[in-house]
Amino acid sequence: MDFTQNERLAQITEKTLIIGIDVAKKKHVARAIDDRGRDLAKRLVFENTFTGFKQLLKWAQNLADETNKSNFIFGMEPTGHYWLNLAYYLRAQELHAVVVNPMKVKRTKELDDDSPTKNDTKDAKVIAQVMRAGRYHEPILLEGIYAELREGMKLHDMMQEDCSSIQSTNA
């Protein structure tokens, strides 16, 4: 279920810890801001592993305790497939994970500093700022039979490609 922008904005209060995450293959970068856009801590670099995800949650909980925040919202760009493990992990912990449009992140970054340079620390903060503006969506994370069907379709497509490759080399 997706909300209107006003409904998404209503979810961000003074008790909300907004955590933007720049996702990468091996290491992710997290930045935290409050409902007014103020930085709350230095960045956290954590690995794209179960241990790294637990490190993120410990960092977020400590920050929430320090700043008297009781609600979390974690956001990331849904680029590639590296974000999925983290999103499924956060959902399993019953935490609010959202996705932001990569084009909105790019445009917001250009507005802020007029620099096209990419850096993970800056991107994580921009992701958090886009979330703060209510410009995020609830990801569709398939579970159960639907997840199995998706995997089956991927395997089918891979086998089709292999068959085509074999047929073209034999022709």
pLDDT in tens, 77-100: 887 788 888 988 999 899 989 989
More confidently predicted of 63 and 16: 63
Number of Cβ within a 10 Å radius of residue 123 = 22
pLDDT of residue 165 exceeding 70: yes
Number of Cβ within a 10 Å radius of residue 9 = 15
More confidently predicted of 81 and 116: 81
* Mean pLDDT on 102-117: 71
pLDDT number for residue 114: 59
Q: Do residues 134 and 8 make contact, with C-beta atoms less than 8 angstroms apart?
A: yes
pLDDT of residue 1 exceeding 70: no
Cα distance between the two ends of the chain: 50
- Tell me the pLDDT band of 66, cut-offs 50, 70 and 90: very high
Burial 58-79 (b: 16+ CB within 10 A, else e): ebbeebbeeeebebbbbbbbbe
pLDDT of residue 11 exceeding 80: no
Could you list the beta-strand ranges (E) of the chain.
16-22, 27-33, 44-47, 71-76, 97-99
Q: How many helices (H) and strands (E) does the chain have?
A: 6, 5
